[in-house]
Structures are given as C-alpha cells and as structure tokens.
Structure 1
Amino acid sequence: MIGKRLNEIKGYENIGMYVKFLKKEYLDDLLNGTIYMKNFNYFIELEKKTKEKGQGDKLEVSHVVRSTRVKLIDPKTGMVIATSSSGEMVERYRGTEKMPLFCLTHFQSSDFVITKVENEIITAKIDISLEDQILFEETFGDTAVILTNEFTDRMIESSNKLDLGIAIGDVRYQDYKYYSATRKQEFDELSVNILFWKDNFFKQQREVRFILTKKSVDEYYKLNIGDIRDKSKVTSTKELLSEDEFEFAII
C-alpha cells in the first residue's frame, strides 16, 4: 500500500482538501472570516495588463471558439473581405464579469501518496510535481491555510442570509483549441457551468470556486463568515507541498 495514491485505495477515492494559498500579510483577514472576493473582471484585466497567464485570465466567463483559415464574408454580397490563418471568437454575457468570487485549491485523492500504514492509520502527503509546487509558491503566496467543511458551510450560510446566491464547484478545465457542442449549448442556455470554465492551460491550479451569483460589484466584495481560526490549519506553502503529512483512519 505504501507508495500508492489514495485514489487507488477503495473507499478513499473522494477524499480531498481545500487550501487557500496567500501572502502572509493577508492571513489575519482570512482567519477573522473576512472573505475578500474580487470580481471576474479583475482577472480578465490582470492578464491584459501583465500580458501573462497565471492569476489573470482574459477568457474568464466566456465561450471561446478558435479556428484556422478564417474568412470574413460580407453578408450582403457574399464576398470575402478578409482572411486570416487563425482566429478566436469570444462570447460573454454582459454582467457576469462583475460577479465576485473566492478561489481555493482543491487537492484530490490522486494528489496524495501513502507514506505509512500503522495501527489502523494511513499516513499520506501531497505529492505533486516540482513545477506545480513552484507555481503555488511563486504565484499564489508563501502561506497555506487548510480549510475544513465548516468553511463551506459558513460561506453558504452567510451568503444565504444576505440573499447573495452562491455557486460552488471545481473548475472544469477544457481544451479551447477544439470546438465543443456541449459547451456551446451550455452557453446558449446560460448554464451556471459557464462560471466554472477555464482552459487546460490552468489545470495545474486545481481550482475550486465560491461565486456570489446575485451580487454585482465594480471591484470587490467582502463577505463576513465569522472567525475560522479553530476550523483551519496554517502552514507554509513549502512545508505543505513537501513535508506535511496527514492521517486517515483505515476503512
């Protein structure tokens, strides 16, 4: 059993862990229960400003169609008025970019490797590529906060009290180089799934989102869910991804 991934062991396939990576200067706000939620537009503009994909993504909440050998045809005359070797069409519903969201990392059972089995306890640690470790430390921060199910419950309870609407789920990574009839149908039907689309380029981020679907903000929104110090564990990003171990009872 030692050396296997948790998802290879029957009964452990659905084990997961929510982690918030952040700079240490923002730690107290999070532990105090002040959830700082930027809107989608922040991330759209961030890539445009930095010219880099990472935290920023100019294709957030959009339907993307990429193609080769593009022709622009005049609908009145049928004449070709322009051509291109490649093209990209981006559709987005007005207003969705103003929804506030809070992003976490969701490590799943396949991200854990078993290091010890003893006294009816399985010990495991996060085991991801060095490239992914560097991504989290350099892009998202040197501090990691491990969150329990209580965090999700608090987010739901607090948003419901204020009638903000909330959608929670893992990001659905997809290859935007290929056209998807399902993705187009979901876009046309204004499916909530639109809020969870990202290109495969970002797959390493393992993102899960908490989105306030009834709230529109120009910059950010602060949701207060109450102190979560006793419902979370703080460690360093480096230690979490290379040293920290976790125990699970044998089923």
Structure 2
Amino acid sequence: MEYLIKFGAKENIEKLQSGDIFMQPMKYYRELEEKYKKKGQGDKYEGKLHMTCPGGIISLDETHQSKVLSCSISYSEYERNLVGCFYNVDEERLKAKNSNDITPDIIAFNDKEKQEFANWGDTALVIYKPEFIKRLEMKLKEYNIKCVTNKVKYYNPKNPDQNCINDYQNYYDSMLFWKDDYFINQNEFRIILSKKSIEGETVINIGDISDISRCYNKEIILN
C-alpha cells in the first residue's frame, strides 16, 4: 500500500481534499531561500545539480587564476514548470492495517523529521497514492497537460551520484527528481507538469478526494 502526506494550512489542505490541485513554478522554491536567507526554507538550487569543491579547484589562464569553490548545472526553461510536492510514506513506515481502512497507521516520525515539518502548517492530509495519481493524470489528460511523477532521490554535493550527473548531462526529465541530501528528511514525492506559469496557480480540480484521504491535525500525524 502506498500513501502520500501533504502538510499545510488547514484552509489549503481542505481545498486539496476538495480536488483543487495548486502548484508552484520551480523558480518559486529557489526564490524562497533567497528571500528568507535560510537553507531549507526553499532551495536556491531547486532543479539544479549543485557541486561543491572542498579545497577549491584552481583555474588558470593567461591573465589570472581563480579558485572555484562550487558550480551548478541547470536549464532555465524548467524554471516555470509547475511542481507539486508531497511526503512519500515508504512501506516500512506502515503498521498492519485493516483492509477496510482508507488510511494506515503510520510509524512515528523521528526527531529530525519532526523538526523538518515543524513550520509546515497545522494540518496534514494522508492520501491513498495510486488512486490519487490515477485521477490526477486522467484529468490532466483532458486539458492536454503532461506530467511526470516520481520519488525524489538525494545526492551529496561533495560527491554527486554518477546517475545524477548522467541525468543532467543527457537532459533527461529524471534530473528534476534529484535534490541535495540536506533535504533527505523530506522524503519527497514530486509531480512536475508540462504547464508553465510565473506564479503559483490552481491548475485543475480533479473532484473531491475525501473517499481516498483523511485530514488530521499535524501534531497527531507527527506524534
């Protein structure tokens, strides 16, 4: 059984449960960190492969020498693609559940995860993942909007996974499902649309999903 959790303000979570699919452009998450000057409050390297170089790399030419401490690879055309983010409930998180239940009992979050989600609103929506994705894809198809979905994978900027490097070098969609392992406790499941926007918007309404979801006070979920 597979589930997603969306954390947020009660008003926004209720809109999601009513079927409103609200998404932000990828650049929103970059600008969020730049605005608040706090790593984790957004990610200025969202959609980028960011590599740090311990000790620096010396670059020489005829006129000067420079020390490169970090570099990143990105493609600007993805900055406006709309993105939806959820916490992915891995199977090992689930306790035994009654087959008649819509949502499962979930093993408690650890302290690092609780800290991660501390400021993510007051409400959580637990969603049955397969049916949610099915309904979403069917509705998007009606509007000729393509989407790709997957769990995010995490890499160490000091020693990036070779698969991550290959994805960026070969311009694969899968490159947008890699993030700095600083964010590993988010255990993110990501939805990326072909639709672009300069600001967040409600893309579509897929119909009420209260039959495949349950709304909780966030503290009940985290504890």
Same fold, TM-score > 0.5, yes or no: yes
2:115 to 134, 144, 164: 134
Instruction: Please name the residue that 1:42 is paired with.
Output: 28
Asked whether the 8 Å contact 2:48–2:74 carries over to 1, the reply is yes
Instruction: Please name the residue that 1:5 is paired with.
Output: none
What displacement does 1:95 show? 1.1
Equivalence map 1:79-158=2 (5 Å): 81-84=64-67, 87-112=69-94, 124-136=105-117, 138-148=118-128, 149-158=130-139
The verdict on how the C-alpha distance between 1:101 and 1:70 changes in structure 2, with shifts beyond 3 A counting, is same
The letter of the residue matching 1:144 is A
What displacement does 1:193 show? 1.1
Cα distance in 2, alignment partners of residues 72 and 109 from structure 1: 47
Structure 2 length-normalised TM = 0.88
Cα distance in 1, alignment partners of residues 14 and 109 from structure 2: 28
Instruction: Please name the residue that 2:165 is paired with.
Output: 184
- SS of residue matched to 1:46: helix
Cα distance in 2, alignment partners of residues 48 and 19 from structure 1: 26
The letter of the residue matching 1:91 is I
- SS of residue matched to 1:58: coil
What displacement does 1:211 show? 0.9
What displacement does 1:134 show? 3.2
Identity rate, percent: 27
- SS of residue matched to 2:79: helix
- Stretch moving more, 48-57 or 177-186: 177-186
Equivalence map 1:187-198=2 (5 Å): 187-198=168-179
What displacement does 1:55 show? 4.0
The verdict on how the C-alpha distance between 1:232 and 1:179 changes in structure 2, with shifts beyond 3 A counting, is closer
Cα distance in 2, alignment partners of residues 231 and 16 from structure 1: 12
Asked whether the 8 Å contact 1:173–1:200 carries over to 2, the reply is yes
What displacement does 1:232 show? 1.2
The verdict on how the C-alpha distance between 1:167 and 1:25 changes in structure 2, with shifts beyond 3 A counting, is same
Residue by residue, what CA displacement relative to the aligned partner does 1:140-163 show, whole Å, maximum 9, x if unpaired?
A: 121111111321111111111112
- SS of residue matched to 1:140: coil
Give aligned pairs, total: 215
- Unpaired runs of 5+ residues, structure 1, are 1-14, 118-122, 243-251
Asked whether the 8 Å contact 1:43–1:60 carries over to 2, the reply is yes
Cα distance in 1, alignment partners of residues 189 and 22 from structure 2: 15
Asked whether the 8 Å contact 1:172–1:197 carries over to 2, the reply is yes
The verdict on how the C-alpha distance between 1:218 and 1:125 changes in structure 2, with shifts beyond 3 A counting, is closer
What displacement does 1:22 show? 0.9
- Unpaired runs of 5+ residues, structure 2, are 99-103
Query: For the aligned residues, what is the CA RMSD?
Result: 2.1
